[in-house]
């Protein structure tokens, strides 16, 4: 296969996890052209964490621009490289050895309007279906894809998290970058819907797997109200108003 893939990782103060992610990218059965790490003002700079790693470029921001700002910079930087696809992930998303190979194999078989391909996500040793979703275009509700869908080779979806989200370079050039103003949360949903609005489709590729090393404390449902909750609510309202047919009503429901 002659496809060129650039992998991007956004990191903030997770040196142990970051090293695991980058090591896993370096040993993929389908080799990446380049690994770009966006260091969002980590206390221990990523350049020190990844000292001696080949094929890795670190771009450091001296201020924390959040996941949304990090992915916007990551995709912008990746598109300066000669590439066909850009695979996006957080610093706690560890791709399994054949994760990229499975995505690339699927890309060959899928229509050229496939703008993004997503891996299956595993958390706490089990399939985490909340990362790949359907979107109700009337009221803006998202619902996880059912487990049965993961038995297929590829499945059309409406939205996917940036935990193993491989976007076609041509599609990214068409629709632009993730919205950096979101800072945290829901930037991946907005980006997914923007791709679809511009005629690109998104697919889940179940055979491609990513282990998401999240903790119980990181869940919105189990943590005290804070910045993540604020941005999640604010950004969900924005997306509902912009992408659902009953925009104002959907925004009220989301709020």
Distance CA(34)–CA(20), nearest Å, equals 16
Low-confidence ranges of the chain (pLDDT < 50): 254
SS3 category, 10 = strand
DSSP assignment string, 47-114: HHHTTT-TTEEEEEESS--HHHHHHHHHHHHHTTSS-SEEEEEETTEEE-TTHHHHHHHHHHHS-TTE
The reported pLDDT for the residue numbered 175 is: 98
Residue 48 burial (CB count, 10 A)? 11
- How does pLDDT run across 82-132, given as a tens digit for each residue? 999 999 999 999 999 999 999 999 999 999 999 999 999 999 999 999 999
Q: CA 69 → CA 45, 88, 115, 226, distances in Å? A: 18, 13, 21, 19
The reported pLDDT for the residue numbered 40 is: 98
């Amino acid at each position: 296969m002659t496809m060129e893939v650039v992998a991007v990782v956004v990191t903030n103060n997770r040196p142990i996890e970051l090293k695991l992610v980058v090591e896993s990218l370096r040993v993929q059965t389908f080799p990446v052209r380049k690994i770009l790490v966006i260091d969002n003002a980590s206390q221990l700079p990523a350049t020190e964490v990844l000292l001696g790693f080949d094929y890795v470029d670190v771009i450091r921001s001296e201020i924390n621009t959040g996941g949304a700002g990090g992915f916007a910079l990551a995709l912008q930087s990746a598109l300066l490289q000669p590439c066909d696809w850009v695979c996006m992930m957080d610093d706690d998303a560890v791709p399994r050895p054949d994760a990229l190979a499975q995505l690339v194999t699927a890309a060959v078989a899928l229509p050229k309007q496939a703008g993004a391909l997503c891996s299956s996500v595993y958390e706490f040793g089990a399939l985490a279906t909340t990362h790949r979703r359907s979107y109700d275009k009337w009221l803006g509700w998202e619902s996880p894809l059912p487990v049965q869908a993961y038995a297929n080779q590829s499945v059309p979806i409406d939205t996917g998290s940036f935990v193993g989200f491989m976007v076609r370079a041509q599609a990214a050039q068409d629709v632009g970058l993730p919205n950096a103003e979101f800072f945290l949360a829901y930037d991946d949903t907005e980006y997914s819907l923007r791709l679809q609005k511009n005629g690109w489709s998104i697919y889940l590729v179940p055979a491609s797997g990513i282990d998401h090393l999240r903790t119980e404390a990181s869940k919105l449902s189990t943590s005290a109200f804070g910045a993540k909750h604020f941005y999640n609510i604010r950004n969900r309202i924005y997306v509902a108003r912009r992408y659902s047919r009953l925009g104002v009503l959907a925004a009220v429901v989301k709020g």
